[in-house]
Structures are given as C-alpha cells and as structure tokens.
Amino acid sequence: MSIIAAQVTEWGSAPKIVKISAPPAPSDPSSTIQVRVLATGLHQVVRTRAVGKHYTSGPLPHTPGFDGTGIDIGTGKLVYFNAMSTGSFSEIINIPRENAVEIPEGVDPIQAAGLMNPVMSSWMALRKRVDFVKNGEGNKNWTVLIMGATTASGKIAIRVARMLGAKRVIGAARNEVALQALGLDDMIVLKDTPTETDFTSAAEADVVLDYLFGPWISAFLSSPATRPATNPLTWVQIGSLAGLEGAVPAAGLRQRNVTVRGSGPGAWSLAELSEEQAGMLGVLVGVKEEDVKEVKIEDVESEWDVKTKGRVVFVFGKEK
C-alpha cells in the first residue's frame, strides 16, 4: 500500500509530495500505534528543521512536521500526537503510544494541530523550567513577563500563564495597539533602541518567557528600572525572533538571584512532553482561532513560502 508524504531532499528547498510505502502495522500495539494523519501545523520550528538549521533536523530526506492530529487506526479514536522523531507530513505514521493522547470534547482537531505547538512552548517552559511551578507551588503570588506577547505563541502564553497560576501577566512587544487588545495586566512597548525601553512595570517579575532573545535579556538586566529588584528571577529562553545570540551582562547576573534557562527538546525530554499533552489540550477547550488557515497537503510545495496571516495547517484527505 502506498501513501503520500511531503519530503525535503535538499536543505532549504520546499518539501515535495512523494509516494512512499505505508509503514507496517505495529508488531506490538501496546507500545506503538499507527495514526492516520488528519492535520499538521506549519510551525516556525517545522520551517527551521526543514532548512537543516535546528538541532533536531536529522538527516536527509527529511519529513517535516512536529505534531498533529489524526485517527488511531487501532481504536478509531481522535488523537493529538507529537512526532518529532518521524515527522508528521505523512498520511500514515507509526509513533510510540505515549506520544499520543485522546482529544477531549470541546477541542477542534484543526485548531489543535495549529495551536498545540505554541501552547507547548509556554506550558513546557513553565511546567518544566520554572522550579516553583514544577514543584507544585504555582499558587504563589507570581508575575510573568512575556517578551514577544503579540506573536502567536506569546498570545497563547497569556492564557497558559493564567491557567498555571500567574497572578499578573505583563506583555512586551513593539506594537502598542496590538498589546492593548490582549487583556494584559500591564504592557511594555519595546523601543527600536532596546536600552531606551522602560521596564518599570516588570521590574519585579518572577518569570520571563522570552520569545525574542537577541539584545533583550541585556536590556532588561541592565535597565535602571530593574536593578533595584531583589526577588529571584527565572528567565526562560524559548524563541529567538530578535537574534540567535544575546549578551548577558555579568553585573546583571550578580546583582540579583537570576536563573537563565532554555526550554525546548533537550531541556526537557519527549517523555516529559508526552506526560503534559493532556494538560496542554485543556488550554484549547472552547478556543476558536480564526487565523488558522487550512491547506491541502498536496499544495505543500506551492504554499510553503507563502506569507499569510495566522498559522497554516496542512490537511490530509480533505477537499478545500
């Protein structure tokens, strides 16, 4: 039996549709399941892996995709799955059973395919990289600053932080009008010259979820507004939209109890990710995201580099 998949055969080129043999039925269904993929998201990490620049890219040919939704062929149940080791741009995939979780009522599978990756970015950062949340102390009175709050991941991080117990959520981005629409407790407008940004409202943040990196960790720690703060700070580096490298000022690390950590595969294990999937799906109950765009997988090559508002989800077996 042949199936369709999208594969990258040259780093930097768009994936092309190919026909491949379907994977064999799992010999041990207790440990491996076979999933007929319904939808899979074109996340930033998917693009980065597909150009060979991510530490998890692997060898060529590369099957793109990090996660998705589909039907567990053995049970007929609708599931969300992560498939970093195999890729998800394939009609049928075999994955470890623990990498899939049944989708609860109230969660749309297309929305889940598009939004679970941004949910994961902040959920795993808080649950696995912030000690007091990881240790079950999320009910303490804590404040989080989200650097890059107007991005798709930043927007959903607001919801995630509140669900995990944040009492005050502050967002930082360049677009003041967009920030005002997010229901934040406070906001910081980032300036073109980072050192001119006023961080006063977030000076005593307990956690920073950083989707920007580049110059911003230095700007925050060196700011006259944050220097007087004495409470411990956990800075979690998640994304690098403002630059892959950033200077960390020595004085900023010494004048305050600062912990700088990364969050991503490697900082936490795939087993830990699997354990958290049910909780992450709970974030999406009732969520309707108008900016998710459905595209047939057959159009992956032509749509790969198209600039579009919102998140692209490739769908299998659906006429659009």
CB-facing half-sphere around the CA of 41: CA atoms within 13 A: 27
Going by C-alpha positions, the residue among 271, 205, 263, 215 that lies closest to residue 236 is 263
Q: What residue has token string 């000022």?
A: 249
Q: Which amino acid is at 67?
A: D
pLDDT tens track, the chain, 320 positions: 899 999 999 998 999 999 999 999 998 988 999 999 999 999 888 988 888 877 788 888 999 998 999 999 999 999 999 998 889 999 999 999 999 999 999 899 999 999 998 999 999 999 999 999 998 876 678 999 999 999 989 999 999 999 999 999 999 999 999 999 999 999 999 999 999 999 999 999 999 999 999 999 999 999 999 999 999 999 999 999 999 999 999 999 999 999 999 999 899 998 899 899 999 999 998 777 667 889 999 999 999 988 877 789 999 986 44
pLDDT value of residue 62: 92
Alpha helices in 137-207 (DSSP H): 152-163, 176-180
Alpha-carbon distances, residue 292 vs 109, 178, 186, 233, 314 (angstroms):
12, 18, 27, 34, 10
Provide the whole-model pTM.
0.85
Going by C-alpha positions, the residue among 31, 13, 50, 44 that lies closest to residue 94 is 31
Neighbours of 102 (CB within 10 A): 14
| 183 φψ region: left (φ > 0), alpha (ψ -120 to 50), beta (else) | left
**Contacts with 302 (C-beta within 8 Å, 6 or more apart), sequence order:** none
